[in-house]
Structure 1
Amino acid sequence: MTASQLLAWIAGALLLQLLLGGAWAYRRRREQPVFAPLPAMPAAQGGAWQGLRAFRVQARVDEDAARSQCSFYLVPLDAQPLPAFKPGQFLTFVLPLPDPARPGGEAGVTRCYSLSDTPDPAHYRVTIKRQPDGRVSRYFHEQVQPGQVLQLRAPAGHFHIDADGREPAVLVAGGIGITPMLSMLRWCLAHQPQRRLHLFYGLRNGAEHAFKAQLEQLAAAHPQLTLTVAYSRPAASDRLGTDYQHAGHVDLELLRRTLPHGRHRFFLCGPPALMASLVPALAAWGVPESDIHYEAFGPASLPRSAPAGGADAGAAPGLHAQLRFQRSGRSLSWDGSAANLLDFAEAHGITVDSGCRSGGCGSCETRLLEGSVHYPHRPDHDPAPGHCLLCVAQPATDLVLEA
């Protein structure tokens, strides 16, 4: 056999192998189900996305001895890098939970949870506390497992750390309010290493002390960070001076005794009792309103300064107004007895999608056909032009709403 004949024989064998392999692959492909590719995620301003995006739960980690606070690590299904967020912001989840009104049916339930770590292009993390009467928090703790796919809106919210870092930051957390504070704290240590930081963390006892080892390690490694933990009901096994530094609540007296003299920026997140006592106390102490930033749990329970002009201009307390709900075909009189337009609509049998009920998630955003509204509390979600958030809005004039 000549060399040319040998080369021709080898080439023919390789060609036959390629043809057989292609036929086998084609047959395998025909036998398997075909999945349509996921649609491309449209980009929003700042690199965020519009609407819902699918995330897979990568892991879940209990963060306290009582196993009442659990972190969920979330990775995008499309494997694209995640946009950065401002430390302190939250994620909005839309969850398909059983619908009590339709046996066997599902309803989209919306909830907002603070991001509890620094921005990472690979994953997000939220930490959720199980509430005995919390439908959604129980769902996360009892049913959400690694591998499950959840639908999320992009990070949002006006409560976040300031970027200039000129004044020392005082972070005050009550209970699960530690989540945005931990995000702020870790970001500051990485990006503002010269900034003085004071973290005050109030909780009942050591069983509920989330991120205990992590916080102690951060305080030991960073001299610019002062950690003060307060237990209001310490257990017999909790050691004063080791597990916690103060017996009682985080209050103004503790801040005055601990903080050095000078200007500070305050960031607070916790249950209503903590916020209702400490926010006014800071103002009475002489802290400028511009230096007090806070986020309360649940519906906005503390008065916030409304943005000047815009939808809030001309609001009048006790206003009597005529409201027209266009799609529902209802004309009603507003007498000021309802806290907001969402409560008013529901009291009159008008169904409106809603979620957080505190102006954070945007679920109740409704087109405003005529008139203007007033926001007693500044919402975290910025409604589109010509729209309003029913859960925190009150009428400033007669209104025609699309709902």
Structure 2
Amino acid sequence: MTSLSLLLWIILGIALQVGLFLGISFWQHWQTYSRLKHGQPEADESIPAVNLPKAEVAGWSGFRPFKVARRVIEDTAGQICSFYLEPEDRQALQSYKPGQFLTFRLDVPKADGSGTEQITRCYSLSDAPQTDSYRVSVKRVPAPPRCDHPPGRSSNFFHDHIQVGATLQIRAPSGHFYLEPGSSPVILIAGGIGITPMLSMLNWCQTHQPEREVWFFYGVRNSKETAFASHLCAIAAARPNVHLRLCFSDPLPEDQLGKDFHHHGRVDVNLFRIELPLKPYHYYICGPTPMMETLVAALEDWGVPDSHIHFEAFGPASIKRRKPETAATESAIAAPASDIMVTFAKSGKQARWSPQSGSLLEFAESQGIAIDSGCRAGGCGTCQTTIRSGEVSYRQSPDYDPEPGTCLMCVSIPKTHVTLEA
């Protein structure tokens, strides 16, 4: 055998090994792609690495008094403040799932200065479950520019009136948006003050699943609006499996790319295409409505399974998914019979409801019927009302679970002729 023949045989052997390696890699890659496309988990994805705390343990009904033990400003602009809350009775605290919220009953000053009135608001818990306290982080909401709307009543009340030692009435943690059990890698996406439930999830992972792969995308305008920056950076520096990406859409002149932030622009799917390896991630998103509407639709268009997209919108916003069956359901709900009669038993009023009348809460208010309400998004349960007869349907899934035989008027519409205890 000549030297040339030997060289050719060696080259052929190397080529066969490379070809075999590439073939196996391609097959594994294709299997992963197929699982992602059809929403199938990887072998270990559905196996919980640790049990989540059960929200039902040591709970309470109604409102419970808590003392403000500490206040901490979390951003350089002083617009986000954390409140550490301890129960006045010093009894055991109900645990919660990372991502859930607290409901507050607040006695806020009236605009005309004639006294106070009660309002109900919900705020996400912003830390992993603790045994002796809760934490919420509230952003001051200013009055919109060039508009007659007043500033946010509850957020400004927290910032201006709730000091250390103040007492707050709080309902037990609740909500259907939380980190699902399992060991699959997660993408936490926050916009603005939407960081609060994401931070609860991140901190929980660091305590209970420090080996879990976490990507944290945080979108704000610039460094003045970045909350918990040192905390986030410290976790990312200490944990190689935590990947932090600060995204500034309008950086200040002194903000330096690569030092103060990682990406100039908004959080979007194009950024995910660049940054993320091909894995069956679960996406958790919380932020302003425009961000939510854009991201959820883009992730669906990208091929992310519906079961891997979890989100919570601010306020009464409702983010629509692009599933055919959902579209059919929405169509049926959006166009019910136009001759439905709604009877308000206590008020002695009866009126014809139409799809243009909006929710039952809006309809009642249009008839001059006062209904106690808070979040107007199905979260606080303040507008829970007994159904004497008939049926209702929900325009969006409420976070608060109403008692049997009742409905949340803020997110429900009549399905048949209905009589309400209102």
Could you state the TM-score of these two structures normalised by the residue count of structure 1?
Answer: 0.85
Which residue is 2:403 aligned to? 384
2:71 and 2:371 map into 1 onto residues whose CA distance is 33
1:247 to 253, 264, 270: 264
Does the Cα contact within 8 Å between 1:341 and 1:390 map onto a contact in 2? yes
* Structure 1 residue 98 corresponds to structure 2 residue 109: yes
Which residue is 1:375 aligned to? 394
**After superposition, where does 1:205-284 map in structure 2 within 5 Å?**
205-284=222-301
Residue 106 to residue 256, structure 1, CA distance change in 2 (3 Å): same
Shift of residue 62, structure 1, vs aligned partner? 0.4
User: Which range moves more in the overlay, 91-100 or 375-384?
Assistant: 91-100
The C-alpha deviation readout for 1:126-173, integer Å capped at 9, x for no partner, is 0000001101101111111000000000000000001122x1100000
Does the Cα contact within 8 Å between 1:63 and 1:71 map onto a contact in 2? yes
Which residue is 2:188 aligned to? 171
Shift of residue 50, structure 1, vs aligned partner? 0.3
Shift of residue 314, structure 1, vs aligned partner? 11
1:70 and 1:99 map into 2 onto residues whose CA distance is 23
Residue 314 to residue 386, structure 1, CA distance change in 2 (3 Å): farther
1:128 to 135, 138, 152: 138
Q: Secondary structure at the match of 1:122?
A: coil
Does the Cα contact within 8 Å between 1:315 and 1:395 map onto a contact in 2? no
1:153 to 147, 171, 177: 171
Does the Cα contact within 8 Å between 2:84 and 2:134 map onto a contact in 1? yes
AA partner of residue 96 (structure 2): F
1:78 and 1:211 map into 2 onto residues whose CA distance is 30
Which residue is 2:92 aligned to? 81
Which residue is 2:378 aligned to? 359
Could you state the TM-score of these two structures normalised by the residue count of structure 2?
Answer: 0.81
Q: Secondary structure at the match of 1:46?
A: coil
Structure 2 unpaired stretches of 5+: 1-54, 143-150
Shift of residue 46, structure 1, vs aligned partner? 2.6
* Structure 1 residue 183 corresponds to structure 2 residue 183: no
1:390 and 1:61 map into 2 onto residues whose CA distance is 36
* Structure 1 residue 51 corresponds to structure 2 residue 62: yes
Which residue is 2:156 aligned to? 138
Which residue is 2:416 aligned to? 397
Shift of residue 194, structure 1, vs aligned partner? 2.1
1:259 and 1:154 map into 2 onto residues whose CA distance is 37
Which residue is 1:338 aligned to? 357
2:84 and 2:111 map into 1 onto residues whose CA distance is 29
Structure 1 unpaired stretches of 5+: 1-43
Which residue is 2:369 aligned to? 350
Question: Bigger radius of gyration, 1 or 2?
Answer: 1
* Structure 1 residue 317 corresponds to structure 2 residue 350: no
Q: Secondary structure at the match of 1:189?
A: helix
2:359 and 2:57 map into 1 onto residues whose CA distance is 31
AA partner of residue 416 (structure 2): T
2:117 and 2:371 map into 1 onto residues whose CA distance is 13
AA partner of residue 117 (structure 1): D
Does the Cα contact within 8 Å between 1:265 and 1:292 map onto a contact in 2? yes
Instruction: Report % sequence identity.
Output: 49
AA partner of residue 214 (structure 1): H
1:262 and 1:401 map into 2 onto residues whose CA distance is 49
1:375 and 1:295 map into 2 onto residues whose CA distance is 17
The C-alpha deviation readout for 1:28-67, integer Å capped at 9, x for no partner, is xxxxxxxxxxxxxxxx943211000000001111000000
Does the Cα contact within 8 Å between 2:390 and 2:418 map onto a contact in 1? yes
